[in-house]
């Protein structure tokens, strides 16, 4: 037995585990991460910049790319804002009171996670499309939802509904309602109680969930693809634009546009890690 | 109970928040889902049988289910190893890996799709050496499994990680002091604790894999009877304006994912009880 493996007293005694197994597991993890997570990122970046900076710049400043970027930004802002307000409201209403049917309501909020994005698109086509029951009304008022921007926004909202609510409900459940009750009994109104008593506790969970919600809203493909109609320059989002470029064998351009989204998702991941670290630090301090 | 009844009276805003929540869920979830149910109710028996016995649709279910199952199984192994390594060991690059685990959630699926495809074609960085061994990944079922493994990795790691963080190494140490080998310790001490979390992660990965579209269509090649996935069957029918058939395919898929989600909830309830005890 090598000396490192002999039993030592104190802190070292934990490290008796077979070092071969430990190293093997670390190597497996590093290799798996390299193959599955790092290489896809590298391939996008090398393909995007492989033909030089000028080609990259030309691809990302193309009129259709810019239009797609605008639609993606608009959709993301609306969907994230709507779902943040909804998530806070739903979390409050599901954790501050008790009534029948609460778990049914939670199931309905969770539903979009269980549904394939393609089905998420399909249900909006069936509701607002040519055969939908709202069609004659929409036609009469000259409103277009499916194969237009409103449909894209609605499908994106559907797909990202659970993010904020799901993250905040457990935090509020764990805290209980004592502090809100005290605040209200001392004369605070609804908004005052929410902003001064509840919000400070859920602040980081809120930021965290908004970050993840943004990532999903920005990158949604399946649901948006079904309702979009793929009109270039009109109902094309960035992910759909990438698909078109790729299928037309404009690989360089497809990867150049992808690089924008890769950079955005790395920013999102970094923000997520930072928020997580700050939140942990605050929890530790409040425990002390 | 009396306390909770009181809290309903004390904390204001019930009507307002309940009203907003119900209208929002109603407008964005309930009405569209009911519209699909209505469409499904209009299907004739003939149409349902036609879709249910369509060989191409059946083979797409088989591909979707088989590949999602395999991908989830691969993640049971590698996801658990990753979670273990991230919780128990300190090594250079640990933080980076921990941050990267959620990349599949943050990266748009279409980008993941074209990136994995270009890596695994016969000219790709990974595909070229594999093609010399006679293995092709892109445009085969192997490619579908690869894409689904990528997409569902975070589910497994993030299910197992919190359980491992709670699991004190003291028990393993006790086992080791009593003379148990690494394998016995893993099987008898660690595995029973991880089982509910692994099962939850597996089911979540399976459900996500069944519905996944964006990352798969690029790498699958979409050859009829070979590499067509179930969501693609809905898309092709929609493109032909066969709304009824699209709905029928979707209803079968919905049923499968509800069964899986139901299982997840049961498992989570059991796991919660386990923790309380």
| pLDDT tens figures, B62-94 | 999 999 999 999 999 999 999 999 999 999 889
pLDDT over 50 at A216, yes or no: yes
The phi-psi region of residue A101 (left if phi > 0; otherwise alpha if psi is between -120 and 50; otherwise beta) is left
Q: What is the pLDDT of residue A10?
A: 45
* Of A105-109, A261-265, B8-12, B141-145, minimum mean pLDDT range: B8-12
- B85/A32 touch (CB, cutoff 8 Å), yes or no: no
Residue A187 in this model has a pLDDT that exceeds 50? yes
Instruction: Using alpha carbons, select from B125, B135, B96, B202 the residue that is nearest to residue A35.
Output: B125
* CA–CA gap between residue A45 and residue B182 (Å, rounded): 42
The pLDDT, as a whole number, for residue B7 is 46
Nearest 5°: CA angle at A236, between A230 and A241? Answer: 95
Is residue B232 within 8 Å of residue B158, measured between CB atoms? no
Q: Is B68 a domain residue? A: yes
Residue contact A269–B150, C-beta within 8 A: no
Q: Are residues B137 and B20 in the same domain?
A: no
Tens-place pLDDT, residues B207-249: 999 999 999 999 998 989 999 999 999 999 998 888 888 999 9
Domain that holds residue A78: 52-287
Chain B interface test: which of A12, A19, A32 (most B C-beta within 10 Å): A32
Burial (Cβ within 10 Å: 0-12, 13-18, ≥19) of residue A164: buried
CA distance A33 to A30: 5
**Tally of structural domains, chain B:** 2
Contact A118 B173 (CB under 8 A): no
- Whether B112 sits inside 8 A of A40 (CB atoms) is yes
pLDDT the model gives residue A16: 59
Min Cα distance B241 → chain A (Å) is 10
Q: Which residue of A has its CA nearest to B32?
A: A123
- Residue B100 is nearest to which of A37, A123, A180, comparing CB atoms? A37
For residues B177 and B192, state if they share a domain.
Answer: yes
What's the CA gap between A224 and A98, in Å, rounded?
36
Nearest to B274 by CA among B156, B161, B166: B166
**Would B262 be classed as within a structural domain?**
yes
Q: How confident is the model at residue B235, as a pLDDT?
A: 93
Q: What is the pLDDT of residue A11?
A: 44
Q: Do B8 and A99 touch (CB under 8 A)?
A: yes
Together in a domain, B170 and B271: yes
Q: Are residues B99 and B215 in the same domain?
A: yes
What chain B residue is nearest to A245 in terms of C-alpha separation? B114
Find where tokens 């929890």 sit.
A283
Compute the distance between CA of residue B193 and CA of residue A94 in angstroms, rounded to an integer: 31
ipTM of the complex: 0.88
pLDDT at A288: 55
List the CATH number of the domain containing A129. 1.10.3720.10
- Considering only CB atoms, which chain B residues are within 8 Å of A39? 119, 125-126
First to last CA, chain A: 43
Torsions phi, psi of B117, nearest 5?
A: -65, -50
- Cβ pair A84, A168 in contact under 8 A: no
Q: Do B118 and A36 touch (CB under 8 A)?
A: no
Reported as a pLDDT band with limits 50, 70 and 90, residue A13 is very low
Q: How far apart are CA A250 and CA A243, in angstroms?
A: 10
Choose the weakest-confidence range: A88-92, A131-135, B95-99. A131-135
How far, in Å, CA of B11 to CA of A190, rounded? Answer: 8
How much is the pLDDT for A7?
Answer: 45
Structural domain includes residue B171: yes
* Domain span holding position B18: 13-42
Q: Say how far apart CA B161 and CA B173 lie, in whole Å.
A: 20
Q: CB–CB of B125 and A43 under 8 A? A: yes
pTM tops 0.95: no
Comparing C-alpha atoms, which of B156, B86, B137 is closest to residue A30? B86
Identity of the residue in A25, A33, A123 whose CB atom sits nearest the CB atom of B97: A33
Within-domain flag for B100: yes
- Let me know if A185 is exposed, middle or buried by CB neighbors in 10 A (0-12, 13-18, 19+): exposed
Which residues of chain B fall below pLDDT 50? 1-8, 277
Mean residue pLDDT across chain A? 89
All residues of chain B having their beta carbon less than 8 Å from the beta carbon of residue A268 are 106
CA nearest B23 in A: which residue? A86
User: What are the chain B neighbours of A220 within 8 Å (beta carbons)?
Assistant: 108
A40, A184, A215: residue with CB nearest B116: A40
Q: What is the domain count for chain A?
A: 2
Over residues A136-149, mean pLDDT: 90
Q: Determine whether A42 is exposed, middle or buried from the number of CB atoms within 10 Å of its CB (0-12, 13-18, 19+).
A: middle
- B17 and B153 share a domain? no
Interface probe, candidates B101, B103, B260, chain A, greatest A C-beta count within 10 A? B103
CATH number of the domain to which B125 belongs: 1.10.3720.10
Q: Which residue of A has its CA nearest to B75?
A: A32
Q: Is B174 within a domain? A: yes
Say how far apart CA A108 and CA A161 lie, in whole Å: 10
Tell me the C-alpha distance between A269 and A141, whole Å.
Answer: 43
pLDDT at A211 over 90: yes
Q: Residue B38 contacts by C-beta under 8 Å, 6 or more apart in sequence?
A: A133
Nearest CB to B82: which of A29, A115, A189? A29
Q: In sequence order, which ranges of A53-198 are alpha helices (DSSP H)? A: 53-60, 63-95, 102-114, 117-128, 135-140, 149-160, 162-175, 178-185, 190-193
Residue of chain B with shortest Cα separation from A92: B17
Percent of chain A with pLDDT over 90: 65
- What's the average model confidence in pLDDT over A128-135? 87
- Comparing alpha-carbon positions, the chain A residue that sits nearest to B180 is A17
Position A23 pLDDT exceeds 80 = yes
On whether both A72 and A30 belong to a single domain, the answer is no
Contacts of B213 in chain A (CB under 8 A): 116-118, 221-222, 225
Of B103, B207, B231, the CB nearest to A222: B231
Does B76 lie in the same domain as B31?
no
**What does the DSSP 8-state code read for residue A96?**
S
CB B112 within 8 A of CB A239: no
Asked if A261 lies within 8 A of B28 by C-beta distance, the reply is no
Interface probe with A: pick from B6, B13, B90, B241, most Cβ of A within 10 Å: B13
Residue of chain B whose Cα is closest to the Cα of A39: B119
How close is the nearest chain A Cα to the Cα of B170, in Å? 8
* Same domain, residue pair B124 and B53: yes
A117 and A242 in a common domain? yes
Claim to verify: residue B22 and residue B97 sit in the same structural domain: no
pLDDT of residue A113: 87
Q: Kindly identify which residue of chain B lies nearest to residue A259, measuring between CA atoms.
A: B111
Of A98, A123, A218, the CB nearest to B33: A123
- Nearest-Cα distance to chain A for B4, in Å, is 7
Domain co-membership, A40 together with A152:
no
In sequence order, what DSSP letters do the residues of A141-153 get, joined into one string?
TT---TTSHHHHH
Nearest to B118 among A33, A43, A190 (CB): A43
Q: Give the CA count within 13 Å in the CB-facing half-sphere of A97.
A: 19
Chain A: give the shortest CA distance to residue B190, in Å.
14
Q: Which residue is closest to A14 within chain B, CA to CA?
A: B173
Kindly list the distances between the CA atom of residue B230 and the CA atoms of B108, B155, B209, B217, B248, in Å, as whole numbers in the listed order: 20, 21, 11, 11, 12
Task: Tell whether B150 and B37 lie within a shared domain.
Answer: no
Separation between Cα atoms, residue B116 and residue A36, nearest integer Å: 9
Residues B194 and B125 in one domain: yes
The reply to whether residue A269 touches residue B243, judged by beta carbons under 8 angstroms, is no
Give the whole-angstrom CA distance, residue B138 versus residue B116. 8
One domain, residues A126 and A57: yes
B2 found inside a domain: no
């Amino acid at each position: 037995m090598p000396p490192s493996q002999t039993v030592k007293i104190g802190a070292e005694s934990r490290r008796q585990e077979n070092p071969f197994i430990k190293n093997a597991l670390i190597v497996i993890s590093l290799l798996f991460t390299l193959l599955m997570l790092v290489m896809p990122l590298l391939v996008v970046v090398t393909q995007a910049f492989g033909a030089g900076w000028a080609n990259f710049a030309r691809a990302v400043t193309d009129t259709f790319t810019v239009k797609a970027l605008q639609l993606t930004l608009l959709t993301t802002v609306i969907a994230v804002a709507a779902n943040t307000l909804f998530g806070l409201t739903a979390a409050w209403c599901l954790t501050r009171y008790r009534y029948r049917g609460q778990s049914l309501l939670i199931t309905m909020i969770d539903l979009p996670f269980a549904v394939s994005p393609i089905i998420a698109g399909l249900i909006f086509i069936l509701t607002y499309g040519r055969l939908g029951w709202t069609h004659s009304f929409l036609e009469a008022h000259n409103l277009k939802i499916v194969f237009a921007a409103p449909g894209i926004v609605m499908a994106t909202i559907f797909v990202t509904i659970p993010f904020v609510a799901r993250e905040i409900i457990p935090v509020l459940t764990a805290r209980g309602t004592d502090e809100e009750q005290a605040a209200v009994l001392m004369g605070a109104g609804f908004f005052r109680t929410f902003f001064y008593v509840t919000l400070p506790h859920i602040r980081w969970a809120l930021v965290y969930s908004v970050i993840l919600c943004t990532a999903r809203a920005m990158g949604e493909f399946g649901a948006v693809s079904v309702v979009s109609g793929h009109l270039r320059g009109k109902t094309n989002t960035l992910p759909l634009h990438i698909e078109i470029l790729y299928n037309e064998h404009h690989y360089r351009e497809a990867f150049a546009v992808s690089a924008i989204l890769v950079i955005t998702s790395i920013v999102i991941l970094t923000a997520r890690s930072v928020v997580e670290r700050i939140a942990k630090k605050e929890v530790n301090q409040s425990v002390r | 109970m009396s306390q909770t009844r009181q809290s309903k009276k004390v904390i204001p805003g019930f009507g307002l928040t309940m009203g907003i929540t119900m209208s929002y869920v109603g407008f964005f979830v309930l009405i569209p889902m009911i519209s699909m149910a209505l469409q499904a109710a209009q299907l004739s028996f003939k149409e349902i049988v036609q879709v249910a016995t369509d060989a191409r649709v059946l083979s797409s279910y088989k591909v979707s289910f088989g590949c999602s199952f395999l991908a989830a199984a691969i993640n049971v192994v590698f996801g658990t190893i990753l979670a273990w390594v991230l919780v128990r060991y300190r090594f250079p690059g640990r933080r980076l890996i921990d941050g990267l685990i959620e990349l599949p959630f943050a990266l748009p699926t279409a980008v993941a799709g074209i990136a994995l495809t270009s890596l695994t074609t016969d000219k790709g960085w990974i595909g070229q050496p594999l093609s010399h061994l006679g293995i092709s990944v892109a445009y085969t079922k192997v490619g579908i499994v690869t894409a689904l493994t990528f997409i569902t990795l975070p589910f497994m790691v993030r299910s197992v990680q919190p359980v491992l963080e709670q699991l004190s190494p003291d028990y393993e140490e006790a086992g080791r002091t009593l003379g148990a080998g690494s394998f016995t310790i893993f099987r008898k001490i660690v595995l029973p604790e991880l089982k509910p979390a692994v099962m939850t992660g597996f089911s979540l990965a399976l459900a996500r894999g069944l519905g996944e579209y964006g990352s798969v269509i690029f790498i699958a090649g979409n050859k009829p009877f070979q590499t067509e996935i179930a969501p693609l069957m809905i898309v092709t029918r929609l493109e032909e304006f066969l709304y009824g058939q699209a709905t029928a395919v979707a209803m079968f898929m919905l049923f499968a994912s509800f069964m899986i989600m139901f299982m997840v909830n049961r498992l989570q309830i059991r796991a919660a009880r386990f923790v309380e005890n």
